[in-house]
Amino acid sequence: MEIENKEEIWKILHLLFIKKKVNLLNRFGRPFLAQVDVWQNYIKIQSEGINQNSPTRILVTKHEEKLFICELKVKGLRSEDGSLILEPIKITIRKETEEDKKDYTPPTLSVSNVISLSDVTIFLGDDQIKDLVKTHSRRLNHLFDVYQVYLSDKMDERMRLMRTFDLPIIILNREDSQTTPEISVPFFEYNKSIRLPAEYKAEICVPIKYRQYIIIGYVQVLQRSRLD
């Protein structure tokens, strides 16, 4: 049974999740105890398991031999207390099985595709990369007020945000947070971390990844007017 109605979701949250200790699952299914509370129109949680590279989180609790599984979307972190801010998406209710009662067994992990930092540094200085950047700049310079490509082996604030949320930055109108799409780094997390000159209303940053593993920079456009 899936519940997506916001009013019903919040009823269940208040009854079974809020002010109680529940489990936060990581992507391998490992449970971490989490303290759940309300913050404005969102949920905030404190747990050792909040630091995951995913735009969603899963909270689980049990009641009358049933599992209540809440899926939530990450909105950001509160700097005041380090809690994670989440927006409830849906709650799935199902019977608890024998498999659910078993203790968590860590998965067997192996490391592959190890990348040398020296390889990344050499790649950044490659003349072919510089020529590619120049080629694309001719196509985009006339479309936006500012177009640039940033490449570096050191993380700046934009790279950190895109790595944390595994999403690009798509701020279509800095004066209206509701215009920021779900496929973007959350607006208030961006607005808290990035300081744009006042004349710019919109920004888009798309990450550039080395072998699809490491963010080494981004393509950035800025606009004085809002973008659609």
Condensed to tens digits (0 to 9), the pLDDT of residues 15-38 reads: 999 988 799 988 778 889 999 999
Q: Is residue 109 part of a domain?
A: no
Amino acid at site 211: R
Q: Is residue 216 part of a domain?
A: yes
- Among candidate residues 44, 66, 98, the one where a domain is terminated: 98
Beta bridge partners of 63: 66
If asked whether residues 19 and 60 sit together in one domain, one would say: yes
If asked whether residues 48 and 76 sit together in one domain, one would say: yes
Distance CA 199, CA 123 (A): 35
Q: Is residue 104 part of a domain?
A: no
Average pLDDT of the segment spanning 67-73: 93
If asked whether residues 82 and 147 sit together in one domain, one would say: no
* Token pair belonging to 217: 């920079």
222, pLDDT greater than 80: yes
Q: What is the mean pLDDT of the chain?
A: 84
Task: Tell me the CATH number at 42.
Answer: 2.30.110
Q: Is residue 103 part of a domain?
A: no
188, pLDDT greater than 80: yes
Burial of 154 (0-12, 13-18, 19+ CB in 10 A): exposed
DSSP-based three-state secondary structure for 4: coil
115, pLDDT greater than 70: no
186, pLDDT greater than 80: yes
Cβ atoms of 201 and 173 closer than 8 Å: yes
Distance CA 45, CA 39 (A): 9
If asked whether residues 123 and 219 sit together in one domain, one would say: yes
If asked whether residues 81 and 134 sit together in one domain, one would say: no
If asked whether residues 58 and 146 sit together in one domain, one would say: no
**Token pair 């950190």 in the structure block, residue:** 160
Q: Which domain holds residue 13?
A: 2-98
Number of compact structural domains in the chain: 2
If asked whether residues 48 and 77 sit together in one domain, one would say: yes
Strand duo 42-47 + 21-25: pairing: unpaired
Q: Is residue 14 part of a domain?
A: yes
Amino acid at site 69: I
If asked whether residues 10 and 77 sit together in one domain, one would say: yes
If asked whether residues 78 and 121 sit together in one domain, one would say: no
If asked whether residues 125 and 90 sit together in one domain, one would say: no
If asked whether residues 130 and 52 sit together in one domain, one would say: no
For the chain, the distance separating the N- and C-terminal CA atoms, rounded to the nearest angstrom, is 37
Q: Is residue 228 part of a domain?
A: no
Give this prediction's pTM.
0.52
If asked whether residues 67 and 162 sit together in one domain, one would say: no
Distance CA 212, CA 207 (A): 10
Q: Is residue 112 part of a domain?
A: no
Q: Is residue 107 part of a domain?
A: no
In tens, the pLDDT along 118-131 reads 666 666 666 666 67
In tens, the pLDDT along 4-20 reads 999 999 999 999 999 88
Per-residue CA distances from 152 to 71, 149, 185, 203, 208 (Å): 35, 10, 20, 20, 10
**Is residue 99 very low, low, confident or very high in pLDDT (cuts 50, 70, 90)?**
confident
Distance CA 181, CA 172 (A): 8
114, pLDDT greater than 70: no
